[in-house]
Chains A and B, each alone.
Chain A
Amino acid sequence: MQKIPSHTKARHYGMVIDLDKCTGCATCMVACYSENNVSFRDDESVKLLSINWIQVYKLTNGKPFPDTEVCYLPQPCMQCDGKDFGHPPCVSVCPAVATDFDSPTGIVSQITTRCFGCRYCMAACPYHSRKFNWWDPVWPADMQNYLSPDVSPRMRGVIEKCTFCYHRFQQARQKAYAEGNPEDIGEDDYQTACTQACPSGAITFGDLDDPAHEVYKLKNNRYAFRLLERLGTNPSVYYLSTRKWVHRACDNYLENEEPAAFANKQA
């Protein structure tokens, strides 16, 4: 874990995804593929071999028609703070420091040129957010010309994952330096591609610790929760839903337990 330099303002970037707004259109996925040069293959039918930095899952309440309800859950890397802020489950296990927790931003990095593909981080991540390059990336004709110059494509045999579009943070920081206010990175200066692409405004991104940012208010919403929160991974991605079954579907509860938002309340 990196120490926060004394002259650097500490930020804690995170995301709040409103599941009651998400329509499951997967535009976030498309935007992410395009922004981050995520490779794909002709046959993507085996999802456990696919690479995606954000994946939309379909949840149902399991009830028959007409009581069936559906919820779509976009899942990027949870950018876990882990135990004691700075020890995500995947970081301490990496034998070659190919992934690290960036304390000034709260973002979990992935250094693909350092990774030698042992996949221990993949085993450690309970969200399956980490993807392995089983093949070399092959782009369809001409598409190579349209790749983003800001993000290096990854090679066969290494792990990759969502970085909260860290290159956009670097650009925002450069801009702030150029303007003479290195600490002044506004909410709009740094937004992830999936946030900007979401047509229903379900994804909100910003500094979770900054009261001026929208995510600060949203994460304190009564119906905010985090995926598999009870494992102690301390994710930086929050979800919102007023539906109790959605909360129950996103963490494990014993028979006599209720999700926090609904404990001692009628849903």
Chain B
Amino acid sequence: MTTPAFPEGVKRCGNGQFILWLLPAFLVLLIAVYAMFRVWFYGLNQTNMNDAYGFAIWIWADLAVIALGGGAFFSGFLAYIIGVKNVKNIINFAVVLGVVCYTSALLILGLDVGQPLRGWFIFWHANIHSMLTEVAFCLTIYLGVLIVEFIPVILENPKIQKNRFFHHMAHNMHEIMAVFAATGVFLSFFHQGSLGGVPGVLYGRPFAFREGLFIWPWTFFLFTWSAAAVGPLFTATMCRLAEFITGKRLVKDDVYRLLAKISGWMLLTYIIAKSIDTIYWATVTAPARGFTLMDFYSNNPAYYGIWILIAEILICGFLPALILITQKGRENKKLLFGAAILAIIGLCINRWVMVLQVLAAPLKPFQEEWFVYSPAWTEVITTILPVAYGIILISLAYRFLPLFPQERELNP
């Protein structure tokens, strides 16, 4: 169907079908909001965290969604700063994904603190030496930038465009968008890095600790690089998923291939750097503290075997990188998106081990047991919340906003 509220020249499903599509997501959202209020009202005893697992699935989700949302900043960097024109065909979608990821991250952070009403202390009593302070500042400001980037997209709705003020506002905001994109890139480089710094500076935790450059541990740079590499792949994969769900082509294949090529080379350089980092850590950093590599990968409740390192670096690192840098790999859509999914899994594994395996590994030899944790339902459902909320926001944005400039041409 078409109505004046839809972007010009495109077709959308009927209202009934649209509501039915959103219903499951709303149900999940409802349960998640109930869980959120339980946690806020009764406290963090509603979770399965404990004194060994001060950080758990929420912090992992935070790190993962911010890294995946990195597609917004890196696509913005490519489109507005480097001037790669083709990326503009997917940039609006990347911005919406970024908004979903960053609002979710802040919401989860608000949920994860013991005294949420004191959350403002992080700004008011800021400790400039803390990586978390840097994360909070950059994350909040960057979300502001993302919203500024999102506003002109909203204003492009045909109904809103009829208002002269909003019409001109959208036009003028587009004109100065490069400034915001540059600000966003600057902020993003810092907070992606600071998130890497969060585990990297923990010199009391030999699994996480890394040497580095001046005050920045190597994880600072690795996190930024990996987010820039995998973020655009996530954007492309989500776009492909949207194509699958809507049954329409939304961007031309050369946009996918371009993103895949850039991400492929970045992923390859990242995974080489990550391998060097891992080798140095395993042969110098950890042994200096009395640990061997296998101390962190054996004698534990099954899931932290050496397989996790192989999965992260070889199967979900080198393999997708090698597929994406070859023309044949990029031209075959199944291979391209297979590689993209592997890279996304690899990034999520990396964030998982840098949060949870760090805390699981025993340090005192007289406490040989690994610390075990399984999330409570309140944690699981609130971690799924961003998915449900993302489905709703992206569906609404797709229905009413011109997210894909090529959609009309591709679906005559």
Contacts of A135 in B (CB 8 A): 43, 45
Asked if B205 and A59 sit within 8 Å, CB to CB, the answer is: no
- Bound complex: CA A257 to CA B287 (Å): 11
Interface residues of A in 89-123 (CB under 8 A from B): 89-90, 92-98, 114-120, 122-123
* B85 beta carbon closer than 8 Å to chain A: no
Residues of B contacting A: mostly: loop
Asked if A250 and B365 sit within 8 Å, CB to CB, the answer is: yes
Residues of A contacting B: mostly: loop
Interface residues of B in 121-135 (CB under 8 A from A): 121-122, 124-127, 129-133
Contacts of B202 in A (CB 8 A): 89, 93, 123-124
* A177 beta carbon closer than 8 Å to chain B: no
B290 contacts which of A50, A118, A156, A252 (Cβ < 8 Å)? A252
* B269 beta carbon closer than 8 Å to chain A: no
Contacts of A253 in B (CB 8 A): 290
Interface residues of B in 287-308 (CB under 8 A from A): 287-292, 295
Contacts of A257 in B (CB 8 A): 290
Asked if A89 and B204 sit within 8 Å, CB to CB, the answer is: yes
Q: Contacts A46-B50, A92-B130 hold; do A231 and B113 have CB atoms under 8 A apart?
A: no
Contacts of A173 in B (CB 8 A): none
Interface residues of B in 110-158 (CB under 8 A from A): 112-116, 118-119, 121-122, 124-127, 129-133, 136
* B44 beta carbon closer than 8 Å to chain A: yes
* B367 beta carbon closer than 8 Å to chain A: yes
* A27 beta carbon closer than 8 Å to chain B: no
- Bound complex: CA A130 to CA B51 (Å): 8
Interface residues of B in 347-401 (CB under 8 A from A): 358-359, 363-367, 371
Asked if B136 and A95 sit within 8 Å, CB to CB, the answer is: yes
Could you give, for residues 66-82 of chain A, a 1 whenever the CB lies within 8 Å of some chain B CB and a 0 otherwise? 00000001000000000
Query: Closest approach, in angstroms, between the C-beta of B297 and any C-beta of chain A?
Result: 15
Asked if A114 and B114 sit within 8 Å, CB to CB, the answer is: no
B-side interface size class: 35 or more
Asked if B51 and A254 sit within 8 Å, CB to CB, the answer is: no
A250 contacts which of B115, B119, B364 (Cβ < 8 Å)? B364
Contacts of B244 in A (CB 8 A): none
Asked if A59 and B290 sit within 8 Å, CB to CB, the answer is: no
Could you give, for residues 119-139 of chain A, a 1 whenever the CB lies within 8 Å of some chain B CB and a 0 otherwise? 110111111101111111000
Asked if A49 and B50 sit within 8 Å, CB to CB, the answer is: yes
Asked if B365 and A232 sit within 8 Å, CB to CB, the answer is: no
Interface residues of A in 166-186 (CB under 8 A from B): none
Contacts of A232 in B (CB 8 A): 203, 289
* B52 beta carbon closer than 8 Å to chain A: yes
Q: Contacts A48-B51, A89-B202, A93-B202 hold; do A117 and B127 have CB atoms under 8 A apart?
A: no
* B55 beta carbon closer than 8 Å to chain A: yes
- Bound complex: CA A93 to CA B365 (Å): 25
Residues of B within 8 A of A (CB): 43-45, 50-55, 112-116, 118-119, 121-122, 124-127, 129-133, 136, 198, 201-206, 287-292, 295, 358-359, 363-367, 371
Would you list the 3 A-B pairs with minimal beta carbon distance, nearest first?
A117-B114, A157-B114, A252-B290
Additional 11 contacts, C-beta under 8 A, given A93-B201, A95-B127, A252-B295: A89-B202, A93-B202, A95-B136, A120-B130, A123-B358, A157-B44, A157-B113, A227-B364, A230-B288, A231-B203, A249-B365
Residues of A within 8 A of B (CB): 46, 48-50, 57, 59, 73, 83, 89-90, 92-98, 114-120, 122-128, 130-136, 155-159, 227-228, 230-233, 248-254, 257
Offer 17 A-B interface pairs, CB within 8 angstroms, sorted by A.
A93-B130, A93-B201, A95-B121, A95-B132, A96-B127, A96-B133, A97-B125, A115-B114, A115-B115, A115-B118, A117-B115, A123-B358, A134-B50, A228-B204, A231-B206, A233-B203, A252-B290
